[in-house]
Structure 1
Amino acid sequence: MCERARRPCHEGEQFTEAQIVYALKQAEPGTTVAKVCRKLRISDATIYSRRTKYGGLSPSELHWVKPLEDENAKLERLVADLSLDKAMLRNVPSKSSETVSAP
């Protein structure tokens, strides 16, 4: 729902995380997902993908999501860099293989 007028958002408008959690809470107590989707003008795939991400969160817990996502992305980049470094070091010839005696 759009914050200002408490009306369903139009296509292309972005939902805040609090609005996403609110929409997910509406879909829980027995209201069908299809009905919530029609009311909010979003697809059922959107509800299900957001449920995966924000499923059991309350609005007060939302402030933890973004920092954790940022830290996770940082750690994934670090692992990728270290894996690349390791692969490059494997391809460097060792000193013992360089000093092969000639016949």
Structure 2
Amino acid sequence: MNSNYFVYITTNPKRTTLYIGVTNDLVRRLEEHASQAGNPKTFTGRYFCYHLIYWERFDTPQDAIDREKELKGWRREKKEALIDAENPQWIFLNDEI
């Protein structure tokens, strides 16, 4: 059984839009987002949100889902503070995972 579940935040090249998601395979999911770039039918495609700027790992899917819901309920300022605490330059982390 996979015990790696991730909540992640991606952004667009200008860092103006945030997307929060959950997955059990972060590399695959980021590749899926990148392949949708420019697709108006998906949020990440429409806004080019495939640059990873933050992630957290969890042991259970429910913990990851609960955290995703929590983060999605936050105001933009609080999300930015979370990202700034771990990645103050908002460096794209795709190549580091």
TM-score w.r.t. structure 1 length? 0.26
Structure having the larger proportion of residues in helix: 1
Q: More strand by proportion, 1 or 2?
A: 2
| TM-score (norm: length of structure 2) | 0.27
- Bigger radius of gyration: 1
